[in-house]
Structure 1
Amino acid sequence: MTCKTFCNYMPISASTTASWIIMNIRNILCIITCLLSLQISSAAASIIDSCVAVVNDDVITLSEVNEAGKLMFQRIAEEAPPEQLAPALKKARKTIIDKLIEKKLLLKQAKAMHISVTDEEVDRALTQILNRNKTTREQFTAELAKMGMQEKQYRENLREQILSSKLVNYEVRSKVVIPESQIVDYYDQHYTEQVQEGGYYILQLGITAQGKDMPSDPTAADKAARKKAERILSMARTGQNFKQLARQYSDLPSAVDGGDIGTFQRDEMASYMRDAVTRLKPGEISPVIKSPNGYMIFKLLSSQEGEIITKVPYESVKEEIRNTLYQQEMQRCYKKWLEEIRSQAYVKIL
């Protein structure tokens, strides 16, 4: 499948002299902006918030990078071995700068297209987030306080996310189409697996008490892991794509493959896994299962006993496959579209 061209901008031609002038004006703008960001600390010390990148007529400052990457940098500092700390932080810093550049490009594009977000849309989005996470307004406010964030700042971030989503919906999502033939090909390749003897083709999703955002107290962490696994199971059983859920939430290495661990024979499975999987029919999802490392959820794709092969019925997974292919194609087309926008903008990392 090919992706349509989503940007219709033409590069602006200019003489070498004009290009030099424009570049230097932007560099001067960066310097002026940084100088204007002079702040007086409580000890009356003066500091300059240095620029790290220029995006068209806007700048990205060091404080923006530090604020956007605060949690990531903290996690790396806590988990990375000493010899890997410097390169890990350098890589994370580059990732954050790229994300901030992407954000500024999207917001500028949305403004140029007169796309806006109302307060009512922000309210609805916030309500949906609270309902989806079964969180009260008081719990939400308390969590923000732990993160050192005001609700006003959170709402502004949410507004920008909605704005970007509207833009991407218009420019990219609406133009991505998955034909039936592609779904059938994917089904034949991924939802059946030929095995010599009996076997079970399985997807898995695991939540551990040592996973991210878990309490430090072991008992509380185990309880939180169980609650999180039950919430994800509810999402899977109400039709959400199991592979996407595994990629998003699973703490296991198989998360990168959407929880796909291939085919297992009966005697290859741990007892808790065998007891859960062998009770399932193709397409069914297990309840939350306690394991030595946390809580597991399994989905059986196909099974074979002797000469009898059982597959997940095509119609039962058709929409799940369509969603998987749609997300893959969406990511490919979005990346291409963003590269086109970036190539037409002035972007310089300092």
Structure 2
Amino acid sequence: MPRCGLATIILLLLMLLPACKDQDRLPSQVLLRIDGRTVSLEQFQHDFAQILPRDRVLPKDEEQALRRSYLAQRIDHELLLAEATRRKLSVTPAELQQAIASHLDRYPSGDFERMLADQGLAVEDWQRLLQEQLLVEKVLALMVRDKVDIADEEINAYFAAHRQSFARPEQVKARQITVPDEAQGRQALEMLRQGTPFAEVARRCSISPDADQGGDMGTFARGEMPEAFDKAVFGLPAGRISDLTESDYGYHIFLVEQHLPARPPDLDTVRGEIVAQLRKQQEEQLYQDWLQSLRQEAAIEIDWTLM
């Protein structure tokens, strides 16, 4: 059976959204039984149809492989819900209302309801599925996330193994003005010499995508930008404006705002990044191990003749 990643369950819940409205009307021919939970063939087929590509017809063998992969994901989903029930986990009305409000806050008034209506999904059905999602989150927190423990020895070992990847090369923080020809470049330079702020000239004259941000290029190291850019900015003191520089993209004027010297690897600086990476790895391993134990202990019945 394919292994299902920690994030897949939530994605599966979202894929199941359009199927909820008609569940009560579907015939009861059972495809899957898991610890007292059942999934009908018609329900499965309806849900599976939601993930098929809309713009092309899959070859029969490819569709069958996708169907089996989806079945494995559905089994894992039902296993988690069954485990939540066994552990007497529940979602309180206050928790559900808070989650509903959080979703609605992302949309202008009425847009979310219209989106559900376009999908043929009643608000009540969406709320039931959201409650199910919250329940899955609770069982994952209890059985996986709360059990993660990152020891200092692990952090030190990871840093030692990846030490050079944490080194930072010399960088600059810069802005640019890009124009299509030299004449416009000279005009922009004259505006700067007359005291017009660099960001304002960039917004008025530049054709580069960062013009709306006042030409802000962010921070970059040597080799991340065209060679002509590196030659213009890395030898330029902070606060200085470059001469007109030509490249394949046009003519440029640069303002160096800050030089950031190369930084050797430093554990204290990157500790949080290492902890996040180790936590992700440990969560995934704990999840896979726990899920495998659920699969082995559960009573799973599949009517393969219906597949």
Q: Can you list the C-alpha shifts for 1:311-335, whole angstroms capped at 9, x where unaligned?
A: 4654343223212211211111111
Retained in 1: the 8 A contact 2:166–2:270?
no
Retained in 2: the 8 A contact 1:77–1:85?
no
- Structure 2 counterparts to residues 120-199 of structure 1, below 5 A: 120-131=94-105, 134-190=106-162, 192-193=164-165
- Structure 2 counterparts to residues 163-312 of structure 1, below 5 A: 163-190=135-162, 192-193=164-165, 266=223, 269=224, 271=226, 309-311=262-264
1:324 aligns with 2:296: no
Retained in 2: the 8 A contact 1:191–1:311?
no
Q: Can you list the C-alpha shifts for 1:110-161, whole angstroms capped at 9, x where unaligned?
A: 2222111122211111222344xx3235221122223332221211111111
1:93 aligns with 2:67: yes
1:58 aligns with 2:58: no
Tell me what 1:284 maps to: none
Matched residue type, 2:144:
V
Q: Can you list the C-alpha shifts for 1:27-64, whole angstroms capped at 9, x where unaligned?
A: xxxxxxxxxx997xxxxxxx956433222333222232
Tell me what 2:88 maps to: 114
C-alpha distance 143-118 of structure 1, shift in aligned 2 (>3 A):
same
1:78 aligns with 2:55: yes
Q: Can you list the C-alpha shifts for 1:225-276, whole angstroms capped at 9, x where unaligned?
A: x9xxx9xxxxxxxxxxxxxxxxxxxxxxxxxxxxxxxxx961xx4649x78x
Q: How far did residue 77 of structure 1 move?
A: 4.4
Retained in 2: the 8 A contact 1:38–1:49?
no
Tell me what 2:301 maps to: 348
Retained in 2: the 8 A contact 1:69–1:93?
yes
Q: Distance in 2 between matches of 1:48 and 1:189?
A: 57
Q: Distance in 1 between matches of 2:166 and 2:275?
A: 23
Q: Which moved more, 1:120-129 or 1:337-346?
A: 120-129
Q: How far did residue 338 of structure 1 move?
A: 1.2
Task: With a CA cutoff of 8 Å and minimum separation of 6, indicate the structure with the bigger relative contact order.
Answer: 2
Q: How many residues align?
A: 207
Retained in 2: the 8 A contact 1:60–1:100?
no
Q: Can you list the C-alpha shifts for 1:16-37, whole angstroms capped at 9, x where unaligned?
A: xxxxxxxxxxxxxxxxxxxxx9
1:103 aligns with 2:111: no
Task: Please tell me whether Structure 1 or Structure 2 has the larger radius of gyration of its CA atoms.
Answer: 2
Q: Can you list the C-alpha shifts for 1:295-320, whole angstroms capped at 9, x where unaligned?
A: xxxxxxxxx9xxx8524654343223
Q: Secondary structure at the match of 1:52?
A: strand
Q: Secondary structure at the match of 2:55?
A: helix
C-alpha distance 67-265 of structure 1, shift in aligned 2 (>3 A):
farther
C-alpha distance 90-322 of structure 1, shift in aligned 2 (>3 A):
same
Tell me what 1:238 maps to: none
Q: Distance in 2 between matches of 1:48 and 1:337?
A: 33
TM-score (ref. length: structure 1): 0.49
CA RMSD, 1 decimal: 3.9
Retained in 2: the 8 A contact 1:65–1:93?
no
Q: Distance in 2 between matches of 1:321 and 1:171?
A: 23
Q: Distance in 2 between matches of 1:161 and 1:327?
A: 20
